[in-house]
Each structure stands twice: as structure tokens, then as C-alpha cells.
Amino acid sequence: MDPVAIKLELDRDFTELYRTHLRDIYSYAYYRIGNHHDAEDLTEQTFLQAYRHFERARRESDGRPLRPWLIRIAHNLAANYYRDRARKPQTQLEDAAIVSDMHGTDDLVEGRQELQEVLAGVANLPEDRREALIMRFALDMDNREIARALGRSEGATKVLIHRAIKQLEQGLDGDA
């Protein structure tokens, strides 16, 4: 196969990977970072880095899905984001676009409060537990995918998720 044909096939396959996983990577980034602008930047950086290493990753995957590999890239970039931010503290504006203020019902306010409490509880978890919950519930990843993304065994991942849920429940019960 000539180099041009190989490049075209690689680009086509990467485009498919991008389309398939863009929403998952953005969701992961948003839950990790907490605002849309930085989540978009992190998503873009994830796919740029993935493109640079796509050919090798595809070869080494032995046909396994590449979503855990993409999540791992996003995970590492998010860790860099927090490390850089710790060096240069900034104030973060609340993202008002999440819930529209046009709805003034009591149910919406109550639901929003509960959601904020859960998100705050998740944010207070240790990083590995927070990561596992985001992957499991926000991205609907199974334990095998999470294990691959975190570089752990499937059993260790199951225990991690269980402990994260218990810690979150205890934190929420303590706030009541």
C-alpha cells in the first residue's frame, strides 16, 4: 500500500474515532474541570495528542476499543491542568449556562441544590475515586474500560468504585 493511501486510511479511521468519542471526552473533561471553556480546550488537546500517536495506538490495541486510551490522555491532561493551575491560582467563575434561570419552580431549585451537593461531594473525593465515578456514571464505561483507562486491574477498579460510592453517600448523609 502506498504512503498516501495509508495516510488517507489513517485519517479516515481517526475521523471516525473522533466522531464516536468526542462527546465522551468532552463530558469527561467537563466533569473534571468544571467549566465549558476549559473542557473544550482539554478536549481539543486530547484529540491533538491522540492524533500524533494514533497509528501506534491502533497497532498496539489488538482490536480493543480505544476509548480508554483517549480517556487516559484526557486524564493526564487534566492532571497537568490542575498542576499548572496550582502554580498560578485563578478565580473560577460559576458557569451560569448549566441551568437556565428562566425556570423558577421549587422542583428545579431543589433538584439543582441536590445536583450541586452531589457534584461538590464528587469533587471532594480523592482523585482516583472521582475519576472512577466520572467514567462509570457520566461516561457509562464498564469496569474493564475504566480499569484500562486507570491502569488498574478490573477487581481493583470494582473496589475503587464501591468505596467511592460509599464515601460519597457518607458525605451526603453527613450534610443532611
N- to C-terminal Cα separation, the chain? 65
Residue 97 inside a domain? The answer is no
CATH number of the domain enclosing 136: 1.10.10.10
Quote the crossing angle between the two packed helices 36-60 and 67-87, to the nearest 10°: 140
Mean pLDDT in residue range 2-29:
93
pLDDT, tens only, 20-49: 999 999 999 998 888 899 999 999 999 999
Percent of the chain with pLDDT strictly greater than 90: 47
Percent of the chain with pLDDT strictly greater than 70: 83
Q: Does one domain contain both 72 and 123? A: no
Using 50, 70 and 90 to split pLDDT, how confident is the model at 93?
very low
Residue 27 inside a domain? The answer is yes
Q: Does one domain contain both 107 and 87? A: no
Evaluate if residue 152 carries a pLDDT over 70.
yes
CATH number of the domain enclosing 81: 1.10.1740.10
Evaluate if residue 131 carries a pLDDT over 50.
yes
Q: When comparing pLDDT for 95 and 18, which is higher?
A: 18
Residue 139, C-alpha cell as written in the block? 461516561
Q: Does one domain contain both 111 and 77? A: no
Q: Does one domain contain both 60 and 124? A: no
Q: Does one domain contain both 64 and 9? A: yes
Tell me the pTM: 0.66
pLDDT, tens only, 132-149: 988 988 888 999 999 999
* Cα 107 from Cα 143, distance rounded (Å): 34
Residue 98 inside a domain? The answer is no
Q: Does one domain contain both 109 and 86? A: no
Residue 53 inside a domain? The answer is yes
Q: How many domains does the chain have?
A: 2
The pLDDT value recorded for residue 114 is 75
Evaluate if residue 109 carries a pLDDT over 80.
no
Mean pLDDT in residue range 6-26:
93
3-state secondary structure the chain: CCHHHHHHHHHHHHHHHHHHHHHHHHHHHHHHHCCHHHHHHHHHHHHHHHHHHHHHHHHHCCCCCCHHHHHHHHHHHHHHHHHHHHHCCCCCCCCCCCCCCCCCCHHHHHHHHHHHHHHHHHHCCCHHHHHHHHHHHHCCCCHHHHHHHHCCCHHHHHHHHHHHHHHHHHHHHHHC
Q: Does one domain contain both 146 and 167? A: yes
Using 50, 70 and 90 to split pLDDT, how confident is the model at 111?
low
Among candidate residues 56, 71, 92, the one where a domain is terminated: 92
Residue 161 inside a domain? The answer is yes
Among candidate residues 36, 63, 92, the one where a domain is terminated: 92
The pLDDT value recorded for residue 34 is 83
Among candidate residues 40, 62, 92, the one where a domain is terminated: 92
* Cα 18 from Cα 25, distance rounded (Å): 9
* Cα 19 from Cα 29, distance rounded (Å): 16
The pLDDT value recorded for residue 123 is 82
Q: Does one domain contain both 49 and 112? A: no
- Residue pointed to by grid coordinates 462527546: 23
Q: Does one domain contain both 83 and 20? A: yes
Domain range for 129 is: 103-176
